[in-house]
Structure 1
Amino acid sequence: MTADIIFSSNKLGIIYNSQLQSMLDKFNLGKLISSQITEIGAMGQTMFVSSTKGDFVFKGNPLYPGQLVEEKFFVENLHKRTNVAVPIPYIIDDSEQIFGWSYSLMPRLQGEHLKANLNLDESYKIAELIAKTLYTFHTWKVNEFGELNTKKFDIIPFKDNYTQWLFNRIKFWLEDAKKYSEITEKDFEWVETLLVESKEAFDNFSSPTFVMGDFKPGNFLIYMGDSGWEISGVFDFTNSYFADPISDLIKMITYYLDNNDRKIAKHLVNVYCRELEEKDDLKKRIKVHMLHQRVLDWGCAKAMNKVTWDNELPFSKWVEVYTDSVSSLLE
């Protein structure tokens, strides 16, 4: 399911050159030159493959039934609906004859991942490009909140409604975080208060769009073209669904805040919101989306013992800094 949170992975395992050559032969893509497991993204599912006919990204051993089918659907639709570079053509082989599981093959996009060594003007420019890219994605408007049905290619509505789905999801992962960290009654009360205060804002929101669900530095590339920096590719649509578009800003806002680039974060938000038609209750909604992401980040960091902040800081105090910060970016 697209909107499920998946922390485990069916990694590729050992891949032999003979298997890769069989794959290339199947699609008439030349002779294998080299292959390398990717360092970033897709939870150990991807590999770079170079042949005499080009450079490709190989993605295999799906995490769940329909993963590759839905990603192909989103890639092809975004290619048709927008001018954003995505990995097209997106080839799927369901036969399982070569590797023992299905896989996809797509062109490797040019460019590099966002790094922290850009000057101020470049950082503003990249933030502006990100905002415009996300806004372009969100022009894909739909009539229902939900996930993609990979059988009929329509939308499966969220159980009850979007508000309840989102709120229940936050509460579930907060409860789950108790397994790995101290979550107090005060923390639960703080979360409940924030949700109650924002419920009407979500109930009144009625303009769902495509949501990538995982727009972060590891999932897009930048390239220095003739007219300056440009976003040269966006990929990994495993977490995509249809909901509130402003949720797609959260990971990049968090990235900038964590790198003490508050001005860049504000520029990102300002450029994005400049084009919005429906601006009601943005502050309330974006605070909940930040809470949602931080619950997941807290639980994951605590479970893996990879905490990068004061380990004694209570959850509500830690996340409140982010919810207040993201809200103030809209002022």
Structure 2
Amino acid sequence: MCAAREEDVLQDLVGSDGAITEAANGVAARFGLGRVTHLSALPGAGGRNVLIETEEEPWVLRLGLSPATLGGVSSGLPTGLDVLRSERFFAAAVREKTALRSPWPYEIDDARDLIPVPYAIMPHLAGTTLGWAEDHDWGAVGTALAEAALELHRQSWPAAGNWDPATNDILPSENDPATRCRALVLDLIDRTAMTSEPLDSSSTEWLSERLVHLYAEPVKDACLVHGDFVIGNLRMAEVHRTWSVTGIFDFENARIGDPEEDLVVHMWWACYGRRPEAAVSFLRRYQRDGPVSTRIYGYVLASLLGNWEYGRRMNFLWYGDARTFLDWAGPLYDDFDRVVAAAVG
């Protein structure tokens, strides 16, 4: 198989109308997956995941595309292969240090004879990935997510830091997570200036005024932070009206940091998806056994701005009629504030 551009690789791999391609059969033979019965592209902004259904069990093939096409921590890695290696490191850490299920084994192939980019093969986790438009008991879903987050954050690490491709380990950061977050916001402002929608002065001033929340109190513990802890990256199941998380995946933005960094993505997405009850129950349950401070008001700014920079850089039509970051993020920040008040009040 040969693709002229990286963005064509997934389309060529799946084939027209889910046709089983020679490359897919080759991957299945290489990793002993069994006879391929169906292929389909999985949803997601990155367009790099394929569901491979076999006679034995389903698998996911994940393409290691250029970090320039990604957002968050992974966008700073040298190569697409390193993105996959980083994910494998954190998938192994979740498996070894928590009771949560991550995609394992996580096998990587960089031969580039079957597919012209590196890729990973992993089991398709059991359960369902929910969507905000679906009709569920969203309060119960939020509680289940909080319990999974608490389990993810239970094991402390010696120091905050990012995965290092040279050592295949965590490189401790010279700064605490709050200071790193402030530096990230400033970097995102600079990167947004290179898109078609640079931040206007009102948006920049609005951000600056609220970053003071990052220094409400010192960060005490470092733990594994998923970096994009939201329903789209979780598998869930409902048994007797009780929800639980059956698996967690997509570790491309994982790092070791402040557990409170992991609270904000689900919360603002729940507001965006018009399911604030999922955010209220989430924060209410998490704070019973985990740390919650006003730092979350700083972390949510970084998450919102990271989404804005990535979406504008990739020309995704995510923001409706909003012409400035403040137009889009301001109402979500206000909704986030109302959720916090409801959960801690």
Matches within 5 A, 1:6-85: 12-15=10-13, 17-40=21-44, 43-63=46-66, 64=79, 65-85=81-101
Q: Structure 1: how far apart are the matches of 2:170 and 2:8?
A: 26
SS in 1 for 2:12: coil
> Per-residue deviation at 1:94?
2.9
The one of 230, 238, 249 aligned to 1:216:
230
Could you report, residue by residue, the CA deviation over 1:71-108 in whole angstroms, capped at 9, with x for unpaired residues?
Answer: 11211221122221222222222322321332211111
User: How far does the alpha carbon of each residue in 1:52-81 deviate from its partner, in whole angstroms, 9 at most, with x for none?
Assistant: 222110112343242222211211221122
2:139 matched to 1:124?
A: yes
> Are the structure 2 counterparts of residues 269 and 160 from structure 1 closer, same or farther at C-alpha, using a change threshold of 3 Å?
closer
RMSD: 2.7
Which of 259, 281, 287 is residue 273 of structure 2 equivalent to? 259
For 2:309 and 2:126, the matched residues in 1 are separated by 34
- When residues 320 and 27 of structure 1 are mapped into structure 2, their CA distance, relative to the original with a 3 A threshold, is closer
* 1:247 matched to 2:251: no
- SS of 2:157 mapped into structure 1: coil
Deviation at 1:218, TM superposition (A): 1.5
Instruction: Mark the CA change 1:199 to 1:39 in structure 2 (over 3 Å): closer, same or farther.
Output: closer
Would you say how many aligned residue pairs link Structure 1 and Structure 2?
Answer: 315
Residue in 1 aligned with 2:186?
171
**Aligned residue type for 1:71:** E
Name the SS for the 1:66 alignment partner. helix
Deviation for aligned residue 1:264: 3.1
Deviations 1:2-53 (Å, cap 9, x if unpaired)?
xxxxxx9785341262111122112222222111111236x11110111222
CA distance in 2: counterparts of 1:322 and 1:174, whole angstroms: 23
Shift in CA distance, 322/298, structure 1 to aligned 2, threshold 3 Å: farther
TM-aligned CA distance change 1:253 to 1:226, over 3 Å: same
- Counting aligned pairs with the same residue, the percent is 19
Q: Kindly indicate whether the alpha-carbon contact (under 8 Å) linking 2:111 and 2:118 is maintained by their aligned counterparts in 1.
A: yes
Letter in 2 for 1:60: L
Choose which of 283, 297, 302 in structure 2 pairs with 1:292.
302
> Residues 12 and 61 of structure 1 are in contact (CA less than 8 Å); yes or no, is this contact kept in structure 2?
no
Q: Hey, what's the Cα distance between the residues in 1 that align with 2:186 and 2:118?
A: 34
Please list the CA deviations of residues 228-265 of structure 1 after superposition, one character each: whole Å capped at 9, or x if unmatched.
Answer: 43222211111100111112121211122223433331
In the other structure, the counterpart of 2:155 is 140
Shift of 1:291: 0.8
Distance 1:295 1:325, change over 3 A: farther
How many Å separate the matches in 2 of 1:133 and 1:40? 22
* Alignment match, 1:3: none
For residue 263 of structure 2, give the secondary structure of its aligned residue in structure 1: helix
Deviation for aligned residue 1:301: 4.8
Residues 286 and 10 of structure 1: CA distance in aligned 2, closer, same or farther (over 3 Å): farther
TM-score scaled by length of structure 2: 0.81
What is the distance in 1 between the residues matched to 2:224 and 2:54? Answer: 34
CA displacement, residues 155-179 of structure 1 (integer Å, 9 cap, x when unaligned): 2133554333211211222343344
The corresponding residue for 2:124 is 108
